[in-house]
């Protein structure tokens, strides 16, 4: 399984007929790999002007795999009880909006992107399509700004509780923190541009 994170100009996407959106997004993101710009701090911005309405984020050290994200969520699940009050609530909301689906994944109305993509049929690769609009991206960024300063306090509990397990891609706090900060970068770029 892999993961692809895109930031998209919401107004531009809204002008595409709903039944064509998924195809148009996929083609703009991957249609001509040779036309990609350089990867700059994790971002790939298509070189073609007609594709300048989206960017793709490449997580460092993940090789595009979903596994590190899964293991980061598992690690947070194990260590979150050691983080107090508002810091935990902020990181809960931030991660729940992106990679951590406990305890309310089945009731997250925005998870499948109602109204944005009428159906995930036509995906080049199978898997869920998680859609976060500009308002949600801005909220997630705000929650990260609340949670981020306290992240360092999770170092020891994460090491003790999340530990190293065979096959675990996110084996320690440093890997966890880097991946979470990468998500903050993706949410922050969407928020800065007022994109989804």
- This prediction has a pTM of 0.84
**Residue 133 domain boundaries:** 5-193
Q: How many CB atoms lie within 10 A of CB 116?
A: 20
Dist. CA 94–CA 1, nearest whole Å: 22
Helix (H, G, I), strand (E, B) or coil at 90: helix
CA distance 109 to 104: 10
Report residue 189 as tokens: 């770029």
Region at 113 (left for phi over 0; alpha for psi -120 to 50; beta for the rest): left
CA pair distance 115, 176, nearest whole angstrom: 33
Dump pLDDT digits (tens) for 35-91. 455 666 789 888 787 788 999 999 887 877 888 888 888 888 888 888 888 888 998
Instruction: Write down the pLDDT at residue 132.
Output: 87
Residue 10 neighbours by CB distance under 10 Å: 18
**C-alpha–C-alpha distance, residues 61 and 65, integer Å:** 9
DSSP class of 8: E
What pLDDT, on the 0 to 100 scale, is given for residue 157? 87
Tell me the pLDDT tens digit for each residue of 170-195. 778 888 899 999 999 999 999 999 99
Please give the Cα distance from 132 to 108 (Å, whole number).
Answer: 11
Contact 87, 150 (CB under 8 A): yes
* Tokens coding 162: 């999340």
Tell me whether the omega of the peptide bond preceding residue 100 falls within 30 degrees of 0, making it cis: no
- Tens digit of each residue's pLDDT (9 = 90 or more) over 106-165: 444 444 455 787 766 666 666 677 888 999 999 999 999 999 998 888 888 888 888 666
Q: Which two tokens stand for residue 128?
A: 């869920």
Domains identified in the chain, total number: 1
Quick: pLDDT tens for 165-176.
656 677 788 888
User: Is residue 93 within 8 Å of residue 145, measured between CB atoms?
Assistant: no
């Amino acid at each position: 399984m892999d993961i692809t994170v895109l930031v998209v100009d919401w107004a531009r996407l809204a002008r595409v007929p709903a039944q064509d959106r998924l195809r148009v997004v996929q083609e703009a993101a991957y249609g001509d790999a040779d036309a990609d710009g350089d990867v700059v701090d994790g971002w790939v911005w298509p070189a073609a002007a007609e594709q300048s309405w989206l960017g793709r984020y490449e997580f460092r050290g993940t090789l595009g795999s979903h596994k590190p994200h899964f293991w980061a969520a598992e690690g947070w699940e194990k260590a979150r009880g050691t983080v107090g009050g508002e810091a935990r609530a902020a990181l809960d909301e931030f991660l729940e909006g992106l990679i951590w689906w406990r305890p309310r994944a089945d009731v997250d109305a925005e998870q499948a992107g109602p109204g944005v993509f009428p159906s995930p049929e036509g995906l080049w690769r199978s898997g869920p399509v998680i859609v976060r609009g500009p308002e949600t991206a801005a909220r997630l960024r705000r929650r990260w700004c609340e949670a981020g300063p306290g992240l360092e306090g999770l170092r020891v509990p994460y090491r003790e509780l999340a530990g190293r397990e065979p096959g675990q891609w996110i084996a320690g706090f440093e890997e966890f923190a880097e991946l979470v900060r990468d998500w903050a970068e993706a949410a922050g770029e969407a928020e800065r541009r007022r994109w989804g």
